Chains A and B, each alone.
Chain A
Amino acid sequence: MPSDPESDLADLEKRLKAARGTGEAGRSGSGSGREGAASGAGIGLRIAVDLVAGVAVGVGLGLWLDSALDTKPWLLLVFTIVGFCAGLLNVVRTANQLEAKRKEDEAAARTNAE
């Protein structure tokens, strides 16, 4: 027995942490390159689709509920507005996600450069 199992485990833990740390840095580095390749047009289309999907689902839901409950045209009006709000919510969420990703990549690039 070279050493007691307790310190062996602690050592393993340390090495695992170190390995994970390098993996993390390498991953973020490659991630920033991939994001850079993603064109602005791609991001634009993604956000446009997010907005339209919300409105489309709102209109669809409104039409369906109207014909089911026989309340034409009130639910269509309400759900078109709700759908537009949902679309904007989607857009804000996507933008926040992209922004968080960009900040993360920037921070990773800075730590890599140091």
Chain B
Amino acid sequence: MASNPMDQFTIVPIVPLEVAGFDISFTNSALWMTITVVVSSLFLLLSIRSRGTIPTRGQMVAEMMYNTVANMVRDNVGSGGQPYFPFIFTLFMFVLFGNLLGMVPGSFTFTSHIAVTFAMAAIIFIAVTVIGIAKHGTRFATLFFPHGAPLWTAVILIPIELVSYLSRPVSLSVRIFANLTVGHVILKVIAGFVVALGVFGIVPLAGLVAITAFEFMIAVIQAYVFAILSCIYLHDALHLH
């Protein structure tokens, strides 16, 4: 089966739906997002149901995830970060399970679509900006001018800082989208070699095992990086550097 390595990213409408000229069909992407929400919620609910002093394996994993995000929020957001813990945790779990479920053969990886990752990054960016302005008012503008720099440098520094600030959602979304897309394309291309090479296909097959393990690592690291950068942006908005 010589399939196109890009075929796995095709959006297929499952329930076609159009409201006021907008195509809001229920697609395979939406289906896998729903599955991700259901699976991650069920996992957390069921694993901590026993609430044992001696945790089961599932409970240990759930507590590990909770601790990872709790430490992340405490280390990177600093004081006043606790109210945002639920949001960061939800974000982390959604991206993590989306990435991991994307590794299931035949599934769809919604995090490999820039539309999805950019939407998440844009929400974070807008929310962080609104939080910053609500908390500091006009003092929020000092974020764009380093403390102690000579005043005349403002002409150069403010546009640079502004563009740097605006590039945050772009780099945040492109990073996860590029990592996930590249990983899945490589998997498909190497898998194509296995079939094409016949008996010698054993060589790329062995490589494929290693790459699969590597992709699982990427899936976890990218979810972690996405959440930690959201924390850093939140820190900037709350404390202005």
Contacts and interface: CB of A to CB of B under 8 A. Distances in A.
Interface in B127-176: 159-164, 166-168, 170-171, 174-175
Contact of B163 (A45, A52, A61, A97): A61
Contact of A82 (B163, B170, B217): B163
Interface string B201-237: 0000000000000000110010011000000100000
B178 A89 contact: no
A26 to B, nearest CB: 10
A109 interface: no
Interface extent on B, as a size class?
A: 20 to 34
Contact of A90 (B71, B171, B174, B225): B171
Given A27-B71, A57-B166, A45 B175 contact: yes
A58 B178 contact: no
Dominant secondary structure of chain A at its interface with chain B: helix
Contacts of A52: 171, 174
A97 B218 CA distance: 20
A87 B221 contact: no
Given A27-B71, A42-B221, A49 B178 contact: yes
A63 interface: no
A90 B164 contact: yes
Interface string B6-26: 000000000000000000000
A56 B178 contact: no
B171 A49 contact: yes
Interface extent on A, as a size class?
A: 20 to 34
B90 interface: no
Given A45-B175, A53-B170, A90-B171, A37 B161 contact: no
B220 to A, nearest CB: 9
Interface in B88-138: none
Contacts of A16: none
A61 B166 contact: yes
A54 B164 contact: yes
Contacts of A82: 159-160, 163
Interface string A32-54: 00100110001001100110111
Contacts of B218: 42
Contacts of A57: 163, 166-167, 170
A89 B221 contact: no
A53 B174 contact: yes
A77 interface: no
Interface of B: 71, 75, 159-164, 166-168, 170-171, 174-175, 178-179, 217-218, 221, 224-225, 232
29 contacts: A27-B71, A34-B224, A37-B217, A37-B221, A42-B218, A42-B221, A45-B178, A49-B171, A49-B175, A50-B171, A52-B174, A53-B167, A53-B171, A53-B174, A54-B163, A54-B164, A54-B167, A57-B163, A57-B167, A61-B166, A79-B159, A83-B163, A86-B160, A86-B161, A86-B167, A89-B164, A90-B164, A90-B167, A97-B232
